[in-house]
Each structure stands twice: as structure tokens, then as C-alpha cells.
């Protein structure tokens, strides 16, 4: 007597793939017309990130960032320093990983590593401006450096 064995694994796997692909939608950033104008402006004014009480300093020369920071970003004091430090730690790790993979990520976007030590208190201003640079960068160049959408 012949036995016919029907494998149910393949149809279930196929159904699972169909259902999972239906639910996976790409999240789209909501970028206002004002923000688009800042991105396209090309105004280049350096932003100095420093803290008077510490010796740490970063200078960002990125077209439009100064204007974006002044007009679009959340104001200083909106985020707590601990929030900014936690996000910056994660964003710096992802940034540095991309710098080390120029064949996978655009080396024109990810040029230099960022030396950010979570054991050092860089102060509020450094953390605030660094975090906002990451938000600006992600929104302008449609990048994702962390598990969350770069929102304002």
C-alpha cells in the first residue's frame, strides 16, 4: 500500500511570508516645507559645540545645520541630559560602525569616527547639539542610525 505524505510546512511558510510582508511597511518621515527649504538652502555656517566647564569641543560644518538648529529643532531644555546621553551613545556606536564600512555605507556621509565616551560628562550643550546633529543628518540624508525614527 502506497502512502502519500503531503508536506504542510511549505504552504504554511509561504503564507507566513505573505502575511509578514503585508505588515512590513516602510515608515516615512514627515518633513515640512520649511525643513526642506533649510536642507536645500546650502547656507554653511559652522556650529561650535562646546561646554565652558569642560574642555570638549566639536565643530560641525554642515550646510543648513545652523539654521535648522535655530528654527526647527526642539529648544534647549526640552530633553533631559540623561536622555541625550543615552541617545548619543547609541547613535555614535551606529555612526562609527558605518565609518568602518565604506563599501557598505556612503563614505562621503560617514567620513570620521566620533570619540564619545559614555563615562565622561560632556555637559548639556555638547550632548544637545550632537543629538540634534544626528537628527538633522538622518532627516536630511534619509538615514537611520537607530531603532527609532528621527523625529523633531
Q: Residues 55-76: pLDDT tens digits?
A: 777 788 888 888 899 999 999 9
Among 79, 23, 59, which Cα is nearest to 133's?
Answer: 59
pLDDT per position as a tens digit, 85-135: 999 999 999 999 999 999 999 999 999 999 999 999 999 999 999 999 999
pLDDT of residue 86: 96
Q: Is 84 exposed, middle or buried (0-12, 13-18, 19+ CB in 10 A)?
A: buried
**pLDDT score of 84 more than 90:** yes
pLDDT at 39: 80
State the Cα angle at 58 between 95 and 109, rounded to 5°.
35
3-state secondary structure of 49: strand
| Cell 518621515, residue located | 29
* 48 touches 59 (CB < 8 A): yes
Amino acid at each position: 500500500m502506497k502512502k502519500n505524505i503531503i508536506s504542510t510546512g511549505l504552504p504554511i511558510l509561504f503564507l507566513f511570508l505573505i502575511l509578514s510582508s503585508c505588515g512590513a511597511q516602510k515608515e516615512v518621515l514627515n518633513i515640512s516645507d520649511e525643513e526642506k527649504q533649510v536642507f536645500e538652502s546650502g547656507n554653511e555656517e559652522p556650529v561650535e559645540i562646546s561646554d565652558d566647564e569642560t574642555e570638549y569641543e566639536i565643530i560641525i560644518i554642515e550646510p543648513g545645520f545652523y539654521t535648522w538648529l535655530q528654527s526647527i529643532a526642539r529648544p534647549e531644555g526640552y530633553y533631559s541630559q540623561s536622555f541625550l546621553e543615552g541617545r548619543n551613545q547609541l547613535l555614535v556606536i551606529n555612526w562609527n560602525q558605518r565609518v568602518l564600512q565604506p563599501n557598505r555605507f556612503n563614505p562621503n556621509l560617514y567620513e570620521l569616527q566620533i570619540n564619545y565616551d559614555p563615562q565622561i560628562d560632556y555637559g548639556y550643550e555638547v550632548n544637545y547639539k550632537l543629538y540634534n546633529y544626528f537628527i538633522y543628518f538622518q532627516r536630511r540624508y534619509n538615514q537611520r542610525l537607530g531603532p527609532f525614527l528621527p523625529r523633531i
